Amino acid sequence: MIKVCKFGGTSMADGTTMLRVKRIVEADPARRYVVVSAPGKRYGGDEKVTDLLYETASDVKERGHVGDAYARVAARFSGIVRELGLRLDISALLKETARKIEEEKSEEFTASRGEYLTARIMAELLGVPFVDARDAVKFRGASLDEEETDRLLKETFSRYERAVIAGFYGEDEAGSIRTFSRGGSDISGALAARAAGADLYENWTDVSGFLACDPRIVPEAVGIPSLSYRELRELSYMGANVMHSETIFPVREANIPIAIKNTFRPEDPGTLILPASRCKKDGRVVTGIAGKKSFAVILLEKSHMNEEIGFTCRVLEVFARHNISFEHMPSGIDTMSFVIDSAYLKEGVFEQLRDEIREAVSPDRIEIADNIALLAVVGHGMSDNVGTSARLFGCIRDARVNVRMIDQGSSELNIIVGVENDSYERAVRAVYDEFFGR
Ligand code: ASP
């Protein structure tokens, strides 16, 4: 049995939390490979080491040398090593790291040093080899080279029975350090789990798994005991932020379940993520509710749109020219809407799009509704339960929320409801009460 465990920033925040991690890892001999993030916040208002490192990168860019932000990074790591009583010569390591940061002058190199140093410390604490992700995770330009990474990680694991691997970064073909997007240590962990042929990928964080909805809206939201990879993808894409939304691809391919566990409450069951075929049918209709605010819906209407070949393509070309990606595209016979992130529509962009779309397809009408929130109701159970949408829209009506858009997608896994931003919380509350509240 092999488990790959990834520990997030709060699990690495100080010496005490690292000792917790050590106890967790040592409690189960199957926990052979450990992937770590950089130290996160210890308390509300604290600083994340990665944020400080990004600040360090701009210091170096502006002044040519590291400054106060790096001093704070150094203080965090020295404090951890002191607290743990390790023999690691952290001040030499920090000096050397500062020198390299100034020499490399690369933001990605600088940002990656949080994970690098944390992994060095964790390896020392556990008494197992340290694996530098630059030797095992490979990029081609800015994108991951999956094949080469898999090959090198497999080679690494055949050499080491146990190891600590730094998350978040790798190296490109030119020998430069590249990082994933923020939160990317989850991806490193998933890649390691696949290459190790793990039976389980444990993702240790500071919450006890996924909740059925955002606890800031519904404080008593229940936990989700299990969900499928696809449900996870839908929920995390729509804002349920427990894990990086790209995490599942490597493990899903290899059918490796993911367990979301809480470092601070290891006895809690957490959430298990499995292929749909292995998810128990437990009568749940809805697995979870997620959502995001601040979308815009651009509506086009044109008689006989349905007969006009290439209509959608020409509209999409306009979006593509402006580098705008759209999230959803609900359509009717003579209407079509494009849901896009409002952030794209700064200063006159909509007017420009409108003119270009008019030129491209001459619609009868083109309108925009801004301030739309999307609420995603996710669950495989919805497809075999008659009356799910009646319940969903009934409860939204009872909450006196106006539905601006509906998109069921093609999978029956997800119903997306667009409401105005300021009725979003009310809608989430109502849907939660309807499907989980009794
Ligand atoms: N430390 C990185 C970040 O803050 C990566 C991670 O934690 O996964 O984004």
**Ligand 1 atom closest to Cα of residue 182:** 9
Let me know if residue 282 belongs to a domain: no
Averaged pLDDT score across all residues of the chain = 94
Distance 6 CA to ligand 1 centre (A): 12
User: Does residue 184's CB lie within 6 angstroms of at least one atom of ligand 1?
Assistant: yes
C-alpha to C-alpha distance for 182 and 312, rounded to whole angstroms: 33
Predicted local distance difference test score (pLDDT) of residue 361: 95
Is pTM beyond 0.95? Reply is no
Best of 37, 180, 205, 206 for a ligand 1 pocket test (most atoms within 8 Å of beta carbon): 37
Residues 104-109, mean pLDDT to the nearest whole number: 97
Are 359 and 405 found together in one domain?
Answer: yes
* Ligand 1 contacts CB of residue 61 (under 6 A): no
* Contacts of residue 13, Cβ cutoff 8 Å, sequence gap at least 6: 39, 40, 41, 42, 46
Based on the domain organization, do 258 and 214 belong to the same domain? Answer: yes
Residues 6+ apart with CB under 8 A from 146: 191, 250
Measured by CA distance, the residue closest to atom 5 of ligand 1 is 183
DSSP label at residue 211: B
Cα separation, 4 vs 39, in Å, equals 19
pLDDT at 239 over 80: no
| Ligand 1 proximity of 167 Cβ (cutoff 6 Å) | yes
Claim to verify: residue 44 and residue 143 sit in the same structural domain: yes
pLDDT for position 400: 96
Q: Is 39 in the pocket of ligand 1 (CB under 6 A)?
A: no
pLDDT digits (tens, 9 = 90+) for 199-232: 999 999 999 999 999 999 999 999 999 999 889 8
37-65 average pLDDT score? 97
* Residue located nearest, by CA, to atom 2 of ligand 1: 183
**pLDDT level of residue 258 (50, 70, 90 thresholds):** very high
Residue 250 has pLDDT above 70, yes or no: yes
42 and 131 in a single domain? The answer is yes
Ligand 1 centroid – CA 112 distance (Å)? 9
The pLDDT > 70 percentage for the chain reads 100
- How much of the chain, in percent, has pLDDT values that exceed 90? 84
Quickly state the pLDDT bin for 240 (edges 50, 70, 90). confident
The atom of ligand 1 lying closest to the CA of 181 is: 9
Q: Is the pLDDT of residue 280 over 80?
A: no
Domain count, the chain: 2
For residue 185, the ligand 1 atom closest to its alpha carbon is 8
Whole-angstrom Cα distance, residue 204 to residue 116? Answer: 18
Give yes or no: residues 138 and 228 share one domain: yes
Residues 187 and 333 in one domain: no
Contacts of 390 (CB under 8 A, 6+ apart): none
CA of residue 244 to ligand 1 center, whole Å: 10
Please state the atom number of ligand 1 nearest to the C-alpha of residue 183: 8
Q: Helix, strand, coil shares of the chain as percentages rounded to 5?
A: 45, 25, 35
Q: Whole-angstrom Cα distance, residue 228 to residue 381?
A: 11
Residue 383 lies in a domain: yes
CATH number where 252 lies = 3.40.1160.10
Q: Is residue 283 part of a domain?
A: no
Domain boundary among the residues 217, 250, 276 is at: 276
Q: Which two tokens stand for residue 35?
A: 């992937």
Distance 274 CA to ligand 1 centre (A): 24
Nearest to 208 by CA among 256, 290, 250, 269: 269
In angstroms, rounded to a whole number, what is the distance separating the alpha carbons of residues 252 and 329?
27
User: What integer is the mean pLDDT of 326-340?
Assistant: 90
What pLDDT is attached to residue 434? 96
Span 3-38, pLDDT tens digits: 999 999 999 999 999 999 999 999 999 999 999 999
**What CATH number is associated with residue 364?**
3.30.2130.10
**End-of-domain residue from the set 254, 276, 298:** 276
Look at residue 93 and tell me if it is in a domain.
yes
Same domain, 129 and 190: yes
Q: How far is the CA of 72 from the centre of ligand 1 (A)?
A: 17
Q: Is residue 390's pLDDT more than 80?
A: yes
* Residue carrying structure tokens 């080899």: 129
Is 438's pLDDT higher than 70?
no
261 plus 324 within the same structural domain: no
Check if 48 has its Cβ closer than 6 Å to any atom of ligand 1: yes
Please tell me the residue having the least CA distance from ligand 1 atom 6. 183
Which residues, at least 6 apart from 96, have a Cβ–Cβ distance to it below 8 Å?
Answer: none
CA torsion sign, 299 to 304 to 306 to 309?
Answer: negative
pLDDT of residue 247: 81
Residue ranges making up the domain that contains 122 = 3-276
| Residue found under tokens 């349905």 | 306
Clarify whether residues 257 and 339 are in a common domain: no
Q: Is the CB of 181 under 6 A from ligand 1?
A: no
Query: How would you class 153 by CB atoms within 10 Å of its CB: exposed for 0-12, middle for 13-18, buried for 19 or more?
Result: buried
> From the alpha carbon of 114, which atom of ligand 1 is closest?
1
Ligand 1 centroid to Cα of residue 49, in Å, is 9
Q: Answer whether 169 contacts ligand 1 (Cβ < 6 A).
A: no
Domain boundary pick from 276, 298, 317: 276
Instruction: Return the structure tokens found at 170.
Output: 């790798």
Claim to verify: residue 320 and residue 393 sit in the same structural domain: yes
Can you say how many angstroms the Cα of residue 151 is from the centroid of all Cα atoms in its chain? 25
Is 402 among the domain residues?
yes
